[in-house]
Structure 1
Amino acid sequence: MTAPPENAATARPAGSKRKIRVLQVTPTFYPEVGGIETVIEELTAHLGHYDIESEIAHLSLANKTLQKEIHAGRCVWRVPLIGSRLIGLAPQLRKISEDFDLLHVHDPQLAAITASVMLFGRAKPAVLSTHGGYYHTSQLGLAKAIHEKILMRPALKRYGKVLASSAADYAWFKNYSTRVSLCSNGVNIERFQLPSKTLLNANRWIYWGRLSRNKRLDRVIACVAQARKAGAAVDLCICGPDFDGLQQELKRQIVDAGLTKCVELKPFLSIEALRDELASRAVFITASEHEGFGLSIVEAMAAGCLIICRDMDPLNRFVRDGENGLFLDFDGGVQDEARLARFLAMGESTVVDASKASEKRAASYSWQTAVVPFVDAYHQALD
């Protein structure tokens, strides 16, 4: 596989060109919580340093009428989506897109959102962020295969630039467009840095993020059971919004496995509460089977956490087995058992070194650096 080009670092100085107005078009936004929402909030904040002004168009079935709101000082348009999130249209996008120079579309499904941009985007220049594409689950497998074969290329032709959120996205999307470039998301590492963190116990685990099926939290809980059966006093905190209605199912698994005293389910935590929780946790664990970028993993690394995850792209680009984390198959087998035993037997100084390695690797994903390729892509799309 041809390696994708690294993110460019040729920032145009603020004020070097006229102010650009960008409409960020997304299928999800606050109060929903997840990777796309976080990326849009952070990206728009940093774009302001380059004379790029953003507003947000949230296209959703939940929006019954066109509404304008202000969130964190930024204009958010709640645009009704008619139909379904896959086969649907948002005609009122035409009304609000008129005053913008560029549309930045966040549409991993390449379905209703892209169709609305094609029909109601006033032929404005547009770029697409891929956010992992649509193979993060096996659901609708036949429909996805048909879309990939018949509709992928025509959909991507609408975009002057296709911004691959990871090397895996780059490798996939370059088969369908000649306009693909690597444009990895950034992370607000400053928000998660804990310079006073001193408690580094490898038995203290955390997962935060959506409770969704592709995250395989059932295998995370099974991993805790496996570690405790081997004699390790592991405890786990799981926190985040219940995206797929899994909470009761996970609670039953915890009870059935006899883990009620060592696995805790918490709701979504504010940043302040999450920082407090992270101060007493040394390991972030995820059994996710697909990641578009791995935002929460890099956030955890910024907080000095070691990472337990699968050996897969893009996670293995910033997690190093034996350096700042551990790769597992999450199959409950003897190999995982042996790897876990070695990991949990680490001495305090080894954990400290691994924690520092996580912090160092996370620093390279700061938005101060990551925003530059987005700025360049916008100018290229408009030139």
Structure 2
Amino acid sequence: MAIIEADRARENPQPETAPLIVHVVRQFLPNRGGLEDVVANLGRQTLRRGYRVRVVTLDSLFTAPDKKLPPREDIDGIEVVRIPWSGSSRYPLAPQVFRHLADADLLHVHAIDFFFDALAWGRLLHGKPMIVTTHGGFFHTRKYAAIKKIWFRTLTRASAMAYRRVVCCSASDLKQFSEIVADSLLIENGADIGKFADTASRRARRRIVTIGRFSVNKRLDHLLDAMAVLKARDPEWHLDIVGAESDLNRRDVESEIESRDLTGRVTLHVSPDNDSIRRIITEASLFASASEYEGFGLVALEAMSAGLQPVLNANDAFATLAARHPAIKLADFTSPETAATAIESAYESLSREPDIVRARLLDAARGYSWDIVAGRYIDLYRSLNIGAAESL
């Protein structure tokens, strides 16, 4: 949201009579990631449309569990409540969530985790109507795949019965969740297309950006393997890795870079702010992701909005986006040679028609504006008789 919109939300808070949407999500700002961005952008847009918004989340980041965040905070007009938790980051236990729901008109749960199950089984305690957005479920890696499938078809199916609607944020999620909830609804995620809008280099350059958490499923090792091939073919290639520590920390990624003799050809940027990321993007022409699993592919859309040519691993979410937007190039990143060739081909195409390619990318990204996507959520809220007066 533009700065002026954030200021308007703070200066003109919604009246106490406005409907209150309580978003429940395991991680929120100041953490950065796809899930956090979705909830923040939806919350801001919902405020503009006359609702009150609260986010109930955990009181520390998974990357720094011992550093407690403020228990309450106002972020762009969004009331943020943080609660203690225990257990694993995969399934954090936080029963105090029930203390912050009494005045809610609707609970909007994000992701399939403890909150999803606990609020379903505790619905007689809180008595609130609920919807859930899937955000990829819990199939981000193939680890424990058999157990996950059993869990999904038993406990997840039972918990889903407590929700008025199950909202899937990608076609792959819809295919999966329709197996247990026949009337699952598709509302694809929005992208903050203004954040890095049209900032990529105007001149085609052999410089690649990848953005995302340093998670095992992002397969930075595969991307670095492809980068090693590119470097051998042309030493001008450069890769900027942008993200926050997660399953992998800074030292893990640095070791992967050093082991491939890519020091000087790969630059690591740990948790930079948006202004810093924008400066990195201005020097680049391509975006690459070797991720083996994505819930939707939000970061690819943000890259497109910047004018970066995406070259993406052919996972389900990226393949769905590419089928819709031919400007996206797919590659098999399990083969370094194949991926490197795909990146070179994308660069050559961009070099021949830089303005045409850029226009296609920017046009494709516009369809995912949060203004459009939030409107679909507002329609859903109103269909559940949770309405508000517009306050633009």
Which residue number in structure 1 is paired with residue 389 of structure 2? Answer: none
Q: What is the alpha-carbon distance in structure 1 between the residues aligned to residue 316 and residue 323 of structure 2? A: 12
Of residues 134, 138, 159, the one that matches 1:134 is: 138
Which residue number in structure 1 is paired with residue 104 of structure 2? Answer: 100
Which residue number in structure 2 is paired with residue 91 of structure 1? Answer: 95
Aligned length: 365
Query: Does the 8 Å contact 2:22/2:55 carry over to 1?
Result: yes
Query: Does the 8 Å contact 2:216/2:248 carry over to 1?
Result: no
Which residue number in structure 1 is paired with residue 56 of structure 2? Answer: 57
Which residue number in structure 1 is paired with residue 9 of structure 2? Answer: none
Tell me the CA shift for residue 323 of structure 1. Answer: 4.7
Which residue number in structure 1 is paired with residue 71 of structure 2? Answer: 67
Task: Give the counterpart letter for 2:18 in structure 1.
Answer: K
Tell me the CA shift for residue 79 of structure 1. Answer: 1.7
Which residue number in structure 2 is paired with residue 290 of structure 1? Answer: 293
Task: Give the counterpart letter for 1:285 in structure 2.
Answer: A
Tell me the CA shift for residue 374 of structure 1. Answer: 0.7
Q: What is the alpha-carbon distance in structure 2 between the residues aligned to residue 270 and residue 152 of structure 1? A: 36
Q: What is the alpha-carbon distance in structure 1 between the residues aligned to residue 27 and residue 350 of structure 2? A: 43
Gaps of 5+ in 1: 1-14
Tell me the CA shift for residue 168 of structure 1. Answer: 0.7
Q: Secondary structure at the match of 2:241?
A: strand
CA offset digits 1:240-286 (Å, max 9, x no partner): 11111243232222222221111011111211111111111111110
Query: Does the 8 Å contact 2:109/2:133 carry over to 1?
Result: yes
- 247 and 86 in structure 1: CA distance in 2 versus 1, 3 angstrom threshold: closer
Of residues 266, 270, 281, the one that matches 1:278 is: 281
Gaps of 5+ in 2: 1-13, 387-392
Which residue number in structure 2 is paired with residue 184 of structure 1? Answer: 188
Task: Give the counterpart letter for 2:118 in structure 1.
Answer: A
Q: What is the alpha-carbon distance in structure 1 between the residues aligned to residue 318 and residue 72 of structure 2? A: 37
Aligned positions of 1:13-24 closer than 5 A: 19-24=18-23
Q: What is the alpha-carbon distance in structure 2 between the residues aligned to residue 146 and residue 343 of structure 1? A: 41
Tell me the CA shift for residue 83 of structure 1. Answer: 4.3
Q: What is the alpha-carbon distance in structure 2 between the residues aligned to residue 59 and residue 80 of structure 1? A: 6
Q: Secondary structure at the match of 2:126?
A: coil
Tell me the CA shift for residue 362 of structure 1. Answer: 0.3
- 42 and 76 in structure 1: CA distance in 2 versus 1, 3 angstrom threshold: same
Query: Does the 8 Å contact 1:305/1:355 carry over to 2?
Result: yes
Q: Secondary structure at the match of 1:189?
A: coil
Which residue number in structure 1 is paired with residue 309 of structure 2? Answer: 306
Q: Secondary structure at the match of 2:316?
A: coil
- 233 and 183 in structure 1: CA distance in 2 versus 1, 3 angstrom threshold: same
- 66 and 189 in structure 1: CA distance in 2 versus 1, 3 angstrom threshold: closer
- 340 and 65 in structure 1: CA distance in 2 versus 1, 3 angstrom threshold: closer
Q: Secondary structure at the match of 1:314?
A: helix
Q: Secondary structure at the match of 1:226?
A: helix
Q: What is the alpha-carbon distance in structure 2 between the residues aligned to residue 309 and residue 297 of structure 1? A: 8
Of residues 319, 323, 333, the one that matches 2:322 is: 319
Tell me the CA shift for residue 315 of structure 1. Answer: 1.8
Q: What is the alpha-carbon distance in structure 1 between the residues aligned to residue 362 and residue 202 of structure 2? A: 15
Between 1:116-125 and 1:169-178, the stretch displaced more is 116-125
Residue 148 of structure 1 pairs with residue 152 of structure 2: yes
Q: Secondary structure at the match of 2:176?
A: helix
Structure 1 residue ranges, 4+ long, deviating more than 6 angstroms after superposition: 63-66
| Cα RMSD (Å) | 2.6
Which residue number in structure 2 is paired with residue 27 of structure 1? Answer: 26
Task: Give the counterpart letter for 1:44 in structure 2.
Answer: G
% identical equivalent positions:
26
Query: Does the 8 Å contact 2:201/2:281 carry over to 1?
Result: no
Q: What is the alpha-carbon distance in structure 1 between the residues aligned to residue 207 and residue 87 of structure 2? A: 45
Q: What is the alpha-carbon distance in structure 2 between the residues aligned to residue 169 and residue 293 of structure 1? A: 8
Q: Secondary structure at the match of 1:368?
A: helix
Query: Does the 8 Å contact 1:223/1:330 carry over to 2?
Result: yes
CA offset digits 1:22-66 (Å, max 9, x no partner): 100001112221111111111011112322221000046759899
CA offset digits 1:337-367 (Å, max 9, x no partner): 5434433333634233222211110000001
Query: Does the 8 Å contact 1:46/1:367 carry over to 2?
Result: yes
Which residue number in structure 2 is paired with residue 172 of structure 1? Answer: 176
Query: Does the 8 Å contact 2:55/2:79 carry over to 1?
Result: yes
- 347 and 21 in structure 1: CA distance in 2 versus 1, 3 angstrom threshold: closer
Q: Secondary structure at the match of 1:265?
A: strand
Q: What is the alpha-carbon distance in structure 2 between the residues aligned to residue 55 and residue 94 of structure 1? A: 13
CA offset digits 1:175-231 (Å, max 9, x no partner): 111331101111121222136x55332411001121111100111111111112223
TM-score (norm 1): 0.87
- 175 and 276 in structure 1: CA distance in 2 versus 1, 3 angstrom threshold: same
Aligned positions of 1:28-43 closer than 5 A: 28-43=27-42
Q: What is the alpha-carbon distance in structure 1 between the residues aligned to residue 155 and residue 71 of structure 2? A: 31
Query: Does the 8 Å contact 1:211/1:246 carry over to 2?
Result: yes
Task: Give the counterpart letter for 2:162 in structure 1.
Answer: R
Aligned positions of 1:188-337 closer than 5 A: 188-194=192-198, 198-231=201-234, 233-319=236-322, 323-332=326-335, 335-337=338-340
Tell me the CA shift for residue 322 of structure 1. Answer: 10
Task: Give the counterpart letter for 2:287 in structure 1.
Answer: F
Which residue number in structure 2 is paired with residue 78 of structure 1? Answer: 82
Tell me the CA shift for residue 331 of structure 1. Answer: 2.5
Tell me the CA shift for residue 146 of structure 1. Answer: 2.3
- 368 and 381 in structure 1: CA distance in 2 versus 1, 3 angstrom threshold: same
